[in-house]
Chain A
Amino acid sequence: MAQDSAGLDIAFVVTQAEPLIQRQQTNGSSVTSDDYVGVYLYPHGTVGFQYAFFANPEGTRYQTSSENSAYTPQWTAIGHATPTGYVVTMRIPLEVIRSGGSTTWRAQFVRATVATNGLASWTFSLREQNVNDPAFAGTLLGVGVKRSTASRPKPRAQIYGLGEATTRANGGNTSRIGADFSLPVTPTASFVGTLHPDYSNVEIDQQTIAPSAFAYQYTEVRPFFTQAAQAFNYNFSCSDCPTLLYTPAIPTFREGYALEGTQGPVTFGAYDAIGDGRVDQAEAFDYNKETTENFFSANFQRVAVDTSTGLHDELNSFQGGINNQKTHFFVYGNVAFESGDLVTVPGEANYQEYGFGYASATTVAVLNAQRIGAQFDPVDSFVPQTDITGYEWFARKTFNFSPTYFLHDIQVADFYARYRNRFGDLDQTDTSERTQFDFRNLITAKVNFSANGVQVADREFLPFDGNLLYLGYKVNTVTPTYVQRTYGKYYHGQLDANTYLTTLPLRKRLNLTLEGDQDTYFTHFPGETSGTQWLERASLDWQITRDASFDVGARRIFGPYLPNSYALPPFGTVKASNVSVAFHLLNRRNEFYIVYGDPNSLSTTPALFVKWIRYIGAPKGT
């Protein structure tokens, strides 16, 4: 490792006898599903922003940072196979890291090998739970002492122009422009804004028919929230807990402003999203302090919604805990209080969770008590089930064997929960025992017994079991294949759900994914009918270059929905198909999308989008 006047220079020389797994060709998160090398950087030690940079043996790269979930600066990684393994050289510009002028950084270097499940690291402690824990990382001295670039981050503006060609029935042709900007106010804090934000980014297909008693939760992709909401929802621990800030619940807004950053052990964030007849505001304050002896965290958060109809809803919360690094024992507590026009009985609009346990790198055991009031359902939160009071027990143990043993690891887990509603009736129970075997030949097998009961919308207490048999191959790589069967008592009948998925490497840069999901509900209950819902999906992924990709996706879902706990029957039926085609290119200053349709919509969106984003100043996501 070395540095020049403007960047960190790192070379990994890897000796590896096992065949290299290096499928990913376009930069992205799947790099860490290959063999890879990486570096974690902590410019302010155990506090402040954290960064990680990874590359596979071909030099395909990926990076993450706690400053922005869409952190995508330009940096260099080049890799080549050698007779004894591979070499990767990296150059990380200092200007893409908010160091605040710090010259003493913590760092960890790692190398992962899929074939052995090995994860080699520079520093190591039996106390650490994760390889990337900064308290146990090494120290780099003199970083940036002769830097030629300013340590203060650059402002960033991204201006987009978008054209949409579509049918008159779908709203007709249109075009629009807008902008996002980020202005540093200190070396580690920024003012962020968005004007006329856009939502036509290529989204991932999040549609699923996986059996669940509860509503599905979706991932946020809007750029404003990927940066502005980073400080939110920090908790020390929680289990089956509400998502206190669920930004996908916030509808399209007109303009947004935020302040986010870190200072010492404090991470903070605040935003204001102004829409038509609605304003969503939130503030978060996180205090985290970690040493090799203890870890302490506290999060205070407020989320509020006001509408032009006079509705006001507000959520104030505290989440915190303390962990002893030596003994691995911890205690934690989470409380949240909703108030406003939707709350008529304040005592029924609270969430409380308290627990203690043990957590090491291979063992977790937690006992907690939890209460979610009958009226606790904040407008900008995601609450799977209300009106529950009870306790949970969870334990998981991973037994790792030798890399040369035919079995790499066995994971066993046990979960038990029991809840009652405010009338004393049982309204949720969970009992599951999970076992997973990971073999050296990359076969994974799972056997789960899962008996769950939930009080449904008409107050009947019904089973939603999810016993599982699973067999997969290369499931943690870019080309997974697996079959699984989920079965058991379900609602008034029986569930038999099967999933078949494979990703086939057609050429070096071309992958074909085929998926078939089948949910069958058998019932003889009066008024109900048996039925099967299908999801069929095919997608072709052409990874043209490190910066460009082309994807074609087709999906159809048809048949009756499975019963669930939150709606009254009938649960409806669906017959929908979706086709989407997308080209994406991101280089240093420009990002292009040419997209037909929307991968995440239920039915095909008959529209062609052409979008250009120009980045001025700092790179994307910094």
Chain B
Amino acid sequence: MIRFGPLTPALVALGWFSSFLGAPALAADSTSPDTVTVPTLAAPPSMQGTIDVSWDPAAKLTLGQDFTYRRPAA
């Protein structure tokens, strides 16, 4: 015997209604991958959990998108 749970209509309604609550704005699509040439340093930079001048030649990247919320990262 097949028994259906009582929640199916409620889940559909909840999903539809909740999509209007606090919904984040969509991020712009970025289908062309970012590209960076990795700078080569003469010696390893400092590894102390801090940023100093030895990191100056490094390429700077921004983690600018939030995958979860699909919008620009806070």
User: Which of A's residues lie within 8 Å of B, judged by CB?
Assistant: 1-5, 7-9, 11, 13, 59, 76, 78-80, 87-89, 91, 106, 109-111, 116-128, 131, 136-143, 145-146, 292, 361, 397, 399-403, 405, 407, 410, 412, 414, 418, 429, 431-433, 435, 447, 449-451, 453
Contact = CB atoms under 8 A, between A and B. Distances in A.
B22 A138 contact: no
B38 A141 contact: yes
A78 B2 contact: no
Q: Which 8 A-B pairs have the closest CB atoms?
A: A405-B22, A124-B65, A449-B5, A401-B22, A80-B49, A120-B73, A78-B49, A2-B58
Contact of A125 (B22, B31, B37, B49): B31
Given A9-B58, A109-B63, 11 more contacts: A2-B41, A7-B44, A11-B45, A76-B47, A89-B51, A91-B44, A110-B63, A122-B63, A125-B29, A140-B38, A410-B15
Contacts of B65: 120-124
Contacts of B22: 401-402, 405, 407
B59 A2 contact: yes
Contacts of B49: 59, 78-80, 87-89
Given A118-B69, A124-B30, A126-B26, A433 B2 contact: no
A4 B36 contact: no
A399 B37 contact: no
A424 to B, nearest CB: 16
Interface string B49-73: 1110001011101111111111001
B6 A9 contact: no
A122 B62 contact: yes
A399 B19 contact: yes
Question: Secondary structure at chain A's binding surface: helix, strand, loop or mixed?
Answer: strand
B63 A4 contact: no
Contacts of A137: 33
9 contacts: A2-B40, A111-B63, A122-B63, A124-B64, A138-B35, A400-B69, A401-B24, A402-B69, A405-B22
Contacts of B58: 1-2, 9, 11
A437 to B, nearest CB: 10
Nearest to A146: B40
Contact of B67 (A76, A87, A145, A361): A361
Given A87-B50, A117-B68, A121-B63, A399 B34 contact: no
Contacts of B15: 397, 399, 410, 412
Given A2-B55, A140-B38, A118 B74 contact: yes
A131 B15 CA distance: 24
B40 A4 contact: yes
Given A2-B57, A88-B49, A124-B30, A141 B36 contact: yes
Contact of B33 (A87, A123, A400): A123
Given A2-B57, A9-B58, A139 B47 contact: no
Interface of B: 1-8, 11, 14-15, 18-19, 21-24, 26-27, 29-31, 33-51, 55, 57-59, 61-70, 73-74
A554 to B, nearest CB: 37
A138 B11 contact: no
Given A3-B38, A401-B22, A405-B21, A9 B45 contact: yes
A301 B18 CA distance: 44
A417 to B, nearest CB: 10
A59 B40 CA distance: 24
A195 B74 CA distance: 53
Contacts of A399: 15, 18-19, 23
Contacts of A9: 41, 44-45, 47, 55, 58
Contacts of A76: 47
Q: Which of B3, B14, B62 has the most chain A CB atoms closer than 10 A to its own CB? A: B3
A389 B23 CA distance: 41
A139 B23 contact: no
B37 A141 contact: yes
Given A401-B21, A401-B22, A139 B44 contact: no
Contact of B31 (A127, A142, A410): A127
Contacts of A1: 36, 38, 58-59, 61
A9 B46 CA distance: 9
A89 B48 contact: yes
Contact of A131 (B41, B45, B67): B67
Contacts of B62: 122
A499 B65 CA distance: 38
A139 B34 contact: yes
A111 B61 CA distance: 13
A405 B31 CA distance: 29
B51 A11 contact: yes
Contacts of A397: 15
Nearest to A430: B2
Contacts of B3: 431, 451
Contacts of A140: 35-38
Nearest to B25: A402
B52 to A, nearest CB: 10
A578 B65 CA distance: 48
A88 B51 CA distance: 9
A393 to B, nearest CB: 12
A137 B66 CA distance: 14
